[in-house]
Structure 1
Amino acid sequence: MTRIRTHYDNLQVQEGASPEVIEGAWRVLARKWDPDRHPDDRLRAERVRRIIDHAYRVLSDPRLRGEHDAWIQAQREALHGPEPVLPDGDSPPANAAPRPGTHRRSRSLGLTGITMAWVGAFALMWWLFDDYLDRREFPNRDLVVEQGAANELVLRRNHAGHYLAPGMINGEPVIFLLDTGATQVSVPVHLADRLGLHAGSRGRALTANGPVEVRRTRIRELALGPFVIGNVSGHINPGMRGDQVLLGMSVLSHLDFAQRDGRLILNLP
């Protein structure tokens, strides 16, 4: 049997899926196939990511989605022929013999329904497992500062022993990796433009892969939980490949911090 591959298949959703379901499926798959998560097979991850990104662009646009639905219908009619349409008010006689292929089509639809149910169950399990891994890696991703706690921030350590936290640089969201062994705020070069950072004088920084040439910069405003610090020194680092911003002592020196029971507690001095 000829199989029509659609953008719905690429996002693992049903054809009648709502825009919210489509967006949710895309986010899960985009995170799973982030090339940075597949350093040993980056080309394949990039190819899969392009496919799912294109599928989302089509299905999130009502006009493009309508055109895609029409194409799917045309392909099915070309393969199986259009369904006969009875005049209004007419119905086949009760004792009429089934049309040729009716049982085969019904059986095919039944198998399709079962298959879609399994695909839906698998997608749900995939999403739950991926969400578990994400929370294991980034337990502070949904960090909310409680009202009245403007002078304290408590972060949980992830499975690798690191403290990650959401924050802002010049009003743009980032993920900070807190490192008391770093002197500066170190920003991956591919994030600099989005964060409004300007490359200044050249310098050198020592990384896990050895020394690297960096460009000094000044951060107009940096926010971490309830703490907002202005005019922070940092550098733009071409040796960093991920999307995490290293938060060093140029910020942490403004705070009191202590580790206790797998948590990092930060306070204003």
Structure 2
Amino acid sequence: MAQQHDPVRRTGRIMWILVWGLGLLLLTWYFNQRLEQQSNPNQQVQVLDSNSIVLEQNRYGHYVASGTVNQQPVVFLLDTGATQMAVPQTVAARLELPVGPALVLGTAAGQVTGYRTHIKSLSLGPFTLYDLDAVIMPSQSEEILLGMNALRRFELIQRGSQMTITYSGPEQ
């Protein structure tokens, strides 16, 4: 009689292990989604009209938003202190951006060597910009710094934890 229960008990234990494993996987997925949402609350950009969007600050107080470069998904970090767009090396390699001449760049961390590159198109919400210069930077980040060479085409208004971005037309 005890031998008949051993296979049933074993099957029951295996089922409990599978249930616990599935539960842990679901909890891990859920909390990863929560962390990603806190890091980038603008995965779906809030569009006000054809010329305006609203971004929410992330938990660090930065404005981060999902968009595309050359029709490939990326994450932007708006940086009004950056003269040009800065693309981390790993992201530039994934996007297959052309690597141009080297240049020495002054950053908050000191001087680094970067490389000129060119971006055919950049999209953020309903906005698409074409033919932008950028630099490829040595960085471990996955976020592209959206600098003033792109942001100068917009009016930026910050109120509380939101930033309204309105397209003001092509550069003069």
Q: CA deviation at 1:173?
A: 1.3
Q: Secondary structure at the match of 1:183?
A: coil
1:256 equivalent in structure 2? 155
Compare the two structures and name the one with the higher helix fraction. Answer: 1
TM-score by length of 1: 0.58
1:195 equivalent in structure 2? 95
Aligned partner of 1:234 among 128, 134, 141: 134
Q: Is the Cα contact below 8 Å between 1:170 and 1:196 reproduced in 2?
A: no
1:119 equivalent in structure 2? 21
Q: Report % sequence identity.
A: 35
2:122 equivalent in structure 1? 222
Aligned partner of 1:266 among 132, 146, 165: 165
Stretches (4+) displaced over 4 A = none
Q: Is the Cα contact below 8 Å between 1:191 and 1:243 reproduced in 2?
A: yes
**Larger relative CO (CA 8 A, sep 6+): 1 or 2?**
2
Aligned partner of 1:131 among 29, 33, 39: 33
Q: In the TM superposition, what whole-angstrom CA distance separates every residue of 1:25-48 from its partner, at most 9, and x where no partner exists? A: xxxxxxxxxxxxxxxxxxxxxxxx
1:160 equivalent in structure 2? 60
Q: CA deviation at 1:161?
A: 0.7
Structure 1 residues not aligned, in runs of 5+: 1-97
Across the aligned residues of Structure 1 and Structure 2, the Cα RMSD in angstroms comes to 1.8
Code of the aligned partner of 2:11: L
Structure 2 residues not aligned, in runs of 5+: none
Query: 1:157 and 1:151 mapped to 2: Cα distance?
Result: 20
Q: Secondary structure at the match of 2:13?
A: helix
Q: CA deviation at 1:144?
A: 5.5
- Greater Rg by CA: 1
Q: How does 1:74-223 map to 2 (within 5 A)?
A: 101-143=3-45, 145=47, 149-223=49-123
How many residue pairs get matched? 168
TM-score by length of 2: 0.89
Q: Secondary structure at the match of 2:95?
A: coil
Q: How does 1:63-82 map to 2 (within 5 A)?
A: none
